[in-house]
Amino acid sequence: MTGTANGSAASGRHIGYDLDEARAKYAKRPFKVQHDLPGNPLFELGALADLAERLPEGSIEHHGGNRSVIAEDAIELGERTADSPAAIIRTIGERPGFVAMPVSVPGLPRQAGYQELFEELLVDLAPMVGVPVGDLQDHHGVIFISSGGNTTPVHYDPEPSFLLHVRGVKKFSIGRHPDPEAERLQLETFYRHEGRNPKVVPVDVEEFDLTPGEALHVPPCTPHWVENGPEVALSFSVGFQTTADHLRRGVYQWNGRVRKLGLTPKPYGDSAVRDRMKGNVMVTAFEARRRLLRRPA
Ligand SMILES: [Fe+2]
């Protein structure tokens, strides 16, 4: 990518896309963009196994792979295997396995090379979001390494994200919950950190076949799942949150509390004014709690 603009084309250091299309669809609809990560030595399996050995113990999700589209309870609880993440990566071409390695998330030590790349990717993406890059907060950079045939079960993510595919092929499916009211309850549960895997298969599904050099935008709070092709697959998920995402979280948390009191709250999205009021109350409370926890005893 060359860092030039031509018509509505945005070509950053690593990611290129049609700016008009991206701005129209961002956070609403999935769409593909192009990137230059295939061939980057940061994503060679040896480098990734070395990275796994440097990351804090417990920060890496890993299991033996081969899951179903609808998650079993063990997955929701973050099941781990006896094999270390580095050992799974080093043998990923020979046996089933799955590793999700955080390389840029709040509270994690800076990972040289990966952190700089993550920040360069944010610079490329900021124009489509329409905010300064400094307003892209709560960074979420995770590398997924998985064996051929692996499935990542249906789940929700709170942040808008881009899955930059680097190796192998993946089929990425995005749909919607068949019952809007059931989905609202699911998202309230999700924002209470009590489960992110719905027990129903989404409907109105769009399927995207991803090959190296392609990335898919995943709008926030849309149920999705991923199925690998026969080869080892490797992707870098780049996500972040803006004020709009914090407000949405606040509304679902508010509604979850109101529902526990036996009331029926107005759904998120029904009224922008009401959503802003609920969201601002919860965001203010969240920030106050965060400041309190940071204060030395
Ligand atoms: Fe996801």
Distance 245 CA to ligand 1 centre (A): 16
Domain ranges of the chain: 5-241, 245-294
pLDDT (0 to 100) of residue 78:
45
Report pTM. 0.90
pLDDT attached to residue 279 = 86
pLDDT reported for residue 76: 41
Residue ranges of the chain with per-residue pLDDT less than 70: 1-7, 72-81, 294-297
CA of 292 to the centre of ligand 1 (A): 31
What's the CA-to-centroid distance between 23 and ligand 1, angstroms? Answer: 21
CB 121 within 8 A of CB 36: no
Q: How much is the pLDDT for 198?
A: 83
Around ion ligand 1, which residues have CB less than 5 A away? 157
State in Å: Cα 218 to ligand 1 middle.
8
Q: Determine the CATH number of domain 5-241.
A: 2.60.120.650
pLDDT of the residue at 266: 92
Strand stretches in the chain, DSSP E: 5-6, 9-11, 15-18, 32-35, 61-63, 98-104, 137-146, 151-155, 161-167, 170-176, 203-210, 214-218, 224-228, 233-241
CA of 220 to the centre of ligand 1 (A): 9
- 294 CA to centre of ligand 1 in angstroms: 29
CA of 1 to the centre of ligand 1 (A): 26
